[in-house]
Amino acid sequence: MNAAYKRCSDKRRSGLILLELNLLFMMIILVSGIYCNSVQGICKNCKKLLADIEIARAARYTEGILRRELSYNSTQVRLSKDYNNRDQIVCQKTFKNVRMYWYLSGNVMYRKTIKGTTTGINPYSDTDIKVLDFHTIPLGNEKIGIIMTLKDSETGLVRTRSFTVLLSNSSVTS
């Protein structure tokens, strides 16, 4: 009787291992299904995430240039309107007879530099990112508020970026 009992308990142990393996495979399938579903969701939003990153990079680039040029390299900053009634920034540089104009034209931000009789115009925004709107707000004698609305042309994602520029070497005139 003891030998029959021993054979029967061995069969139970082998059945238990088979049950454990089935549970393990079911858990692996469940976890991989959840993982694939989340990866698929991330891939669907990948273009939107990349567009958001590109807009943030273009905004930081434009903001950095405006901060550097207006804060340290100008002696006088004037906020005005161009002939299309759009905001523009006109600043007198620290170098003699050099003026700069920051303005928006055709959804691209431009910097026009006039040195004596020589004029140079440079685009200062990414061609894939369109600048839909550019507003300047005087916030005091030494502060300017700038609001830009940027759009990714591929996805249509629109973001508005606002920042304040503290003028270190100049003052705001109207």
Q: What is the DSSP letter of 131?
A: E
pLDDT digits 0-9 by tens, 83-111: 778 888 888 877 777 888 888 888 888 88
Question: 61-74 burial, b for 16+ CB within 10 Å, e for fewer?
Answer: ebbebbbebbbebb
Q: How far apart are CA 81 and CA 123, in angstroms?
A: 19
Q: How far apart are CA 4 and CA 163, in angstroms?
A: 85
Rounded mean pLDDT of 18-28? 86
Angle at CA 72, nearest 5°, toward 169 and 127? 135
State what percent of residues in the chain have pLDDT above 90: 5
Q: Are 149 and 162 in contact (CB under 8 A)?
A: no
pLDDT at res. 8: 58
Which of residues 123 and 102 earns the better pLDDT score?
A: 102
Token match 């393990």: residue? Answer: 24
Q: Are 149 and 170 in contact (CB under 8 A)?
A: no
pLDDT at res. 26: 92
pLDDT greater than 60 at residue 80: yes
Confidence of residue 50 (pLDDT cuts 50, 70, 90): confident
